[in-house]
Amino acid sequence: MGHIRLGIIFSVVTALLTEICHSQTLGSNVQFFNIENGLSHSAAKHLLIDSKGYLWIATPDGLNRYDGYSFVTFKHILSDTTSLCDNYVRHLCEDKQGNLWVATRNGLSCYLRANGHFINFYHDPNNDKSIASNNVFFVYQDRQGIIWVKTIETLEKYNPRTRDFTHYRHYNDVFNYASNDFFFSIFEDSKGRLWIGTKDGLNFFDRQLEIFRRYDHDPSNPFSISDNRIKAICEDRKGNLWIGTENGLNLFNPGTNKFIRFFHDPRNPNSLVHNVINDMFFDEAGILWIATMDGFCNYDPVTQRFQSYTAVQYRGILQPLTGISTMVKDKANNLWIGSYEGVTKIDLKPFKFGIFPKNNKDLVFNVNVTALYLSGRNELWVGTRRSELLLLKKLPDKKEFVIDKNYNFRHILSEGIYAILPMSHESMWLGTSDGIFEFNKLTGNIFRVKPNKPVVNFLENNWIHTFYIDKKNVVWIGSEYGLHQYDPKNQQWKAYVQLSPTQDIPIHS
């Protein structure tokens, strides 16, 4: 029955209906992973989904691999030279051979998928072609197969064929000591150009001349980058670069050398969710996903609007999405979010049944949704706190609903509709703050439900929270003052748990 799924549908659709708010709450299938259910450490520094579909999690206490069922943890073992070089893992990269490169606090590791062993790279003071430092922050492979590594002192270029490292310490020491591991990123665009983000600006690397060009913030130039602390770089289908910084999002056209800035505006619900950006990526549909310190958002280049999400609803509790450090989306349309509190998995597939866009004027109604009933594939009944009953119908071949009918019962019901139950093809029950009312879908009228003969402790003037129909077609009613039962076959009422108004033990589900 549709009403049995009310809790799930309410969580999902409430998020979709709240376009009037500045952000949304996700209430779809949500899972949390932390130390209690398998992670070696709750702080997820970086997430990567490899070519085999495994999820890899970099943490301060080991490298974790998740296969959809359980975790496997890789750690440094003193007596094993083929183990991970250090437990503090910062960043991950998969190469063309399917091997995993791991940036750690004490060396660079390469996990060989063929034998399950690690090859480790350490600084050798007697070898100029060894890695310059063991303190590694970032690792990236370009299309030529070159491995680029950021250490605490240099930018390193590793050639797998020669097994040599080339060090870059020049250009005003832009690649020298990094104050922390947040402000660095490497990205190769569609034209093979290498872009390096640092705490001191965006740098373009000329491979032929092996020189760097820096783009930094100029307070007097509105077309300069919004902030020098670069955290993420990606490219759209038109060849434009998107740069996430500590203070805003930037759209950069390499042909014009101009930046367009995007900031959070508390007055605009379609603006960036937060100015501190930690990670970004484009999905297969061309949508930009942005991880920030206060939730995440996606940006549609066609509509030029941001859709923000700042919390998830998990087991009835609202969990804020703060401090997101990394984010990735898999082929099954699951969004994986890494933060200091663990990893969150959000199944985005439930959203495909209906989207309520703000530009649909029919759906911009400033009310609190208090009850939902999905009566058919393309019909949704919505009860509100203002005692309105809305019938929403899905448009053919579209992912949006429009209001087909709007019934206003404020002249009868004082404080809203909180439960909806179908009783027949023509009628449904409405649970309200003032008892049960029957709604006739043909006439649009409602009348109070009363027993044919006096019943002790009847539900009149009782706040109704929920309905449930069992296998015998018996109606169970959860109210403010207890649990009640109605048998339509013999029209009998019964109070199973009848409480007085002074006993505050309401039944909600």
Q: How far, CA to CA in Å, does 159 sit from each of 72, 131, 146, 267?
A: 30, 11, 5, 50
Judgement on whether residues 331 and 437 belong to the same structural domain of the protein: no
Q: Which residues pair with 75 in a beta bridge?
A: none
Domains in the chain, number: 2
Judgement on whether residues 77 and 187 belong to the same structural domain of the protein: yes
Q: Give the separation between CA 49 and CA 335, rounded to whole angstroms.
A: 11
Query: Could you tell me the residue range of the domain that residue 413 belongs to?
Result: 369-498
Q: Residues near 206 by Cβ (< 8 Å), separated by ≥ 6?
A: 212, 213
Q: Is residue 174 part of a domain?
A: yes
CA terminus-to-terminus distance, the chain = 15
Judgement on whether residues 415 and 306 belong to the same structural domain of the protein: no
Do 358 and 269 meet the contact criterion of CB atoms below 8 Å apart?
A: yes
Q: Is residue 122 part of a domain?
A: yes
Judgement on whether residues 275 and 149 belong to the same structural domain of the protein: yes
Judgement on whether residues 430 and 488 belong to the same structural domain of the protein: yes
Q: Is residue 364 part of a domain?
A: no
The CATH number covering residue 465 comes to 2.130.10.10
Burial grade of 509 (CB within 10 A; 0-12, 13-18, 19 or more)? exposed
Q: Which residues pair with 312 in a beta bridge?
A: 26, 319
Helix/strand/coil for 234: strand
* pTM recorded for the entire structure: 0.66
The type of residue at 470 is D
Judgement on whether residues 54 and 87 belong to the same structural domain of the protein: yes
Judgement on whether residues 165 and 44 belong to the same structural domain of the protein: yes
Q: Is residue 359 part of a domain?
A: no
Q: Is residue 83 part of a domain?
A: yes
Q: Rg of the Cα trace of the chain?
A: 29
Q: How many residues does the chain have?
A: 509
Could you tell me where the beta strands, DSSP code E, fall in 395-470?
A: 401-408, 417-422, 427-432, 435-440, 446-448, 464-469
Q: Which residues pair with 338 in a beta bridge?
A: 326, 343
Judgement on whether residues 407 and 448 belong to the same structural domain of the protein: yes
pLDDT tens, residue order, the chain (509 aa): 333 233 333 333 443 333 333 445 555 578 999 999 999 999 999 999 999 999 999 999 999 999 999 999 999 999 999 999 999 999 999 999 999 999 999 999 999 999 999 999 999 999 999 999 999 999 999 999 999 999 988 899 999 999 999 998 754 445 554 444 556 899 999 999 999 998 889 999 988 888 889 999 999 999 999 999 999 999 999 999 999 999 999 999 999 999 999 999 988 888 999 999 999 999 999 999 999 999 999 999 888 889 998 888 776 566 788 999 999 999 999 999 999 999 999 988 754 433 344 444 444 444 567 888 877 667 888 888 778 898 888 777 665 667 788 888 887 886 789 899 998 888 999 998 888 999 999 999 998 988 777 666 666 667 888 888 888 889 998 887 778 888 988 888 887 755 444 454 555 55
Find, among 435, 304, 291, the residue nearest to 359 by Cα: 304
Question: Rounded to 5 degrees, what are φ and ψ at 292?
Answer: -130, 180
Do 160 and 141 meet the contact criterion of CB atoms below 8 Å apart?
A: no
Q: Is residue 148 part of a domain?
A: yes
Q: Is residue 5 part of a domain?
A: no
Do 109 and 122 meet the contact criterion of CB atoms below 8 Å apart?
A: no
Judgement on whether residues 196 and 299 belong to the same structural domain of the protein: yes
Judgement on whether residues 130 and 253 belong to the same structural domain of the protein: yes
Q: Give the separation between CA 300 and CA 116, rounded to whole angstroms.
A: 40
Q: Is residue 162 part of a domain?
A: yes
Q: Give the separation between CA 393 and CA 479, rounded to whole angstroms.
A: 30
Judgement on whether residues 436 and 392 belong to the same structural domain of the protein: yes
Judgement on whether residues 389 and 478 belong to the same structural domain of the protein: yes
